Amino acid sequence: MSAKENARGQGGRKESYRREMEHVQAHESNHAPAQAGLTPSFEAARAYRQARLELIPLRARDKVPADRRWQAREYDDAQTLERAQRGGLNLGVRLPADVVVVDVDPRNFPEGHDSLAELAAAVGLDLASAPHVITGNLDQPGHHYYFRKPKGAVLLDSVEGFEGVEFKSLGRQVVAAGSVHPTGGRYEWAPDSPPLPEMPDLPPKLLEMARRPERNTASDAGEISPEQLARSLEHLDPTEFRDHDKWRELMMACHHATDGEGRQEFIDWSTSDPAYADHEWLVGRRWDSLHSDRDDAVTIATLRKHLIEAGADVEPSDPEDDFDVWEEDAEPAQPQRRRKFITMDELEALPPPKWLIPGVLTEGSLAAIYGAPESGKSFLAVDMSMAVAGGMSWHGRTVERGAVLYIAAEGAPGLGKRVRAWKVEHRAQGREFSFWLDRDELNLAAEKDGGVRAFVREVVEALGPLKLVIIDTLNQTAAGADENSAKDMGRYISSMKRLRDETGATVVVVHHSGKDLSKGMRGSTALLGAMDTTIEVERSTDGRSLVAAVKKQKDAEREVPMRFNLEKVAESLVLRATVMADAAGEFDGRADLTLELARQIAAERGGRVALKELAEILCQRDGVSDKTARRRIEDAVPKGRDNARASGDGGVVWQEPANASNPKLGIDVRTEG
């Protein structure tokens, strides 16, 4: 199936088979002791169960599933393990939609190239952080690297230019560690492999590169399902299709018959020929090069011709598929799955939650920011969003950078001013931000969830994986819903969870408090119960500051309240963290803000900044005169190291001459700690 084989025409596969058999015979001679004594090890099975991955039985010393309908069949891990131990079978991992395995076969690298290293460099793929299995191929080991991805992201099986690297996810399986390769070696965890539950996210750049485009489907393509194809191919002997042209014609017919969906079934059938057992990647590449919408496409008629010659025909669909279904406006039935019970050991092995914003938001969680009207809730939401989207610290806390979707159902016209002011405040006008805005109508509490499903699907297809989604506000995205109804809020919560699960993001809803702020969020307590984190925002009576207090933090201790001043910058307001105090009268807010700015700028410049430069920054930021800026600095920053003043992060700040022997050279603002 290589280019060299194709050039030979009808004799290509036969000649390849002869060479392959000679190689296999020599290999069996060289590795006879290993093949004779090595049996599967099942010690690694626990790692897959801890990561909530399903195990399926494979044929002994093979990569092919032992069961015909392995993709649809329900398996019990304990029964699968017992069956494999009893029959000496290999184990496979049936991959879910949110896991992708980067399957590497160095034998298919172009001469003089390392496709894996080139891909890693091109997209920032950190292989050292990914759980890693080394395959048991004694000729040249391959590699399986495990990553997480959003459930809704459908990937290509390979990317042009990186031959020998394949992406496997939902509908595919990989051989589990402990299994025995056909050449006699064992699949093993790499010595430096991280634990399987600690799978990292697939890099956004690679996710975008490998995203599967929408198919241009031919009107007559896709007449049968992949399941029908698998059952139909059981009537054909793959060894009878070693003639390349005959095999390729059948592949084209199968591709058209399933509209490209029967890829894995055709690969499994082709590689069941011992001569091509290790050609999975090559068969997949050939399959991916086909297009079912071509005018000259080979159709299902060719598949039927081969089946009739073998005394069979295309297998019919399951009986329930032969009847039209009356579609009613009802909730779609959810597929029934076996419950996955875990042991105490597996529970203790689960990785702890990761912080998106340390002390405030965890990754992949549900959260609410609530407060009275005009309390500053949206300012806080924008402040967090910009820090995450730009990968900048959030008031001294290192955040996890990633794409942000801001659903601005309330106050969208003013959001542009807030974003511009934030960039000015943080001197980030030239920085790249992965920030997306949605202003269209959205109802997350609708009785029929078709609109929510379509919205989430569009988000995943258009934006890919996200780190943070802000919904501003609940009231504007719950048309017709009763906030006091547990049923209505239950639908809203389900929509938030769907958005979280499909994008991988932390989903934060901005909501109003009740008339009595001490009683928390307005409406049904179902909303509070579903949140991992809630943040209460209360504005001061003079409107110049606000306090954000974490009221619920499911997986960690609650942070102490955070105080911010609302300061005018450009055409909007921004949040500036202040030194915490027990009472508002204990500090001069403006002096503290100037001190914190001096601390930040001096620290960024190696511990000192010229007084003149600091004054210029204040003038530009606040629109004040040089005289006013210098007076603020004089009021906030004392002179002399002995009089240094403590900043909010524990450092100290003071003024001193730039050159002690020559005071005319100006004054510096210094910082330490």
What fold does the segment set 355-577 form as a domain? Rossmann fold (3.40.50)
Q: How far apart, in whole angstroms, are the C-alpha atoms of residue 107 and residue 246?
A: 26
Q: Percentage of residues in the chain with pLDDT exceeding 90?
A: 40
Residue type, 422: W
CA dihedral 172, 178, 181, 186 (to 10 degrees): 140
Which residues have a Cβ under 8 Å from the Cβ of 292 and sit 6 or more positions away?
A: 215, 217, 218, 221, 222, 255, 256, 259, 260
Decide if pLDDT at 315 tops 80.
yes
Q: Give the pLDDT of residue 251.
A: 94
Q: Give the pLDDT of residue 496.
A: 96
Worst-scoring range by mean pLDDT, 330-344, 394-408, 434-448? 330-344
Decide if pLDDT at 10 tops 80.
no
Q: Give the pLDDT of residue 313.
A: 86
Token pair for 316: 């019919």
Look-up of token digits 């002096």: 591
Residue type, 346: E
Q: Give the pLDDT of residue 450.
A: 85
- CA-based Rg of the chain, rounded to a whole angstrom? 31
Decide if pLDDT at 345 tops 90.
no
Compute the average pLDDT of residues 228-239: 90
Q: Give the pLDDT of residue 546.
A: 92
CB atoms within 10 A of CB 291: 15
Query: Regarding predicted confidence, which is higher, 405 or 672?
Result: 405
Decide if pLDDT at 36 tops 90.
no
pLDDT digits (tens, 9 = 90+) for 40-49: 998 888 889 8
CB atoms within 10 A of CB 248: 17
Length of the chain in terms of residues written: 673
Q: What is the DSSP letter of 367?
A: E
Worst-scoring range by mean pLDDT, 50-59, 511-520, 566-575? 511-520
pLDDT digits (tens, 9 = 90+) for 483-504: 989 999 999 999 999 999 999 9
pLDDT digits (tens, 9 = 90+) for 550-565: 999 987 877 778 889 9
Q: How far apart, in whole angstroms, are the C-alpha atoms of residue 332 and residue 1?
A: 43
pLDDT digits (tens, 9 = 90+) for 585-599: 333 344 467 888 888
Q: How far apart, in whole angstroms, are the C-alpha atoms of residue 602 and residue 617?
A: 12
Residue boundaries of the structural domains of the chain: 3-213+227-309, 355-577, 589-672
pLDDT digits (tens, 9 = 90+) for 48-85: 988 889 999 998 888 888 887 787 788 888 889 989 99
Confidence band, pLDDT 50/70/90 cuts, at residue 293: low
Strand partners, 55: 93
Question: Three-class SS of residue 249?
Answer: helix
Compute the average pLDDT of residues 240-245: 92
CA dihedral 583, 588, 592, 594 (to 10 degrees): 160
Query: Regarding predicted confidence, which is higher, 340 or 384?
Result: 384
Q: How many CA atoms lie within 13 A of 130 on its CB side?
A: 23
Confidence band, pLDDT 50/70/90 cuts, at residue 291: low
Q: How far apart, in whole angstroms, are the C-alpha atoms of residue 196 and residue 664?
A: 63
Compute the average pLDDT of residues 96-109: 93
If residue 243 lies in a helix (H) or strand (E), which one and from where to where? none
Task: Provide the mean pLDDT of the chain.
Answer: 83
Q: How far apart, in whole angstroms, are the C-alpha atoms of residue 98 and residue 501?
A: 9
Q: Give the pLDDT of residue 534.
A: 95
Confidence band, pLDDT 50/70/90 cuts, at residue 655: very high
Q: How far apart, in whole angstroms, are the C-alpha atoms of residue 609 and residue 628?
A: 18
Contact assessment for residue 155 and residue 203, using Cβ atoms and an 8 Å cutoff:
no
Q: Give the pLDDT of residue 622.
A: 66
Contact assessment for residue 69 and residue 268, using Cβ atoms and an 8 Å cutoff:
no
Decide if pLDDT at 5 tops 50.
no
Compute the average pLDDT of residues 448-452: 86
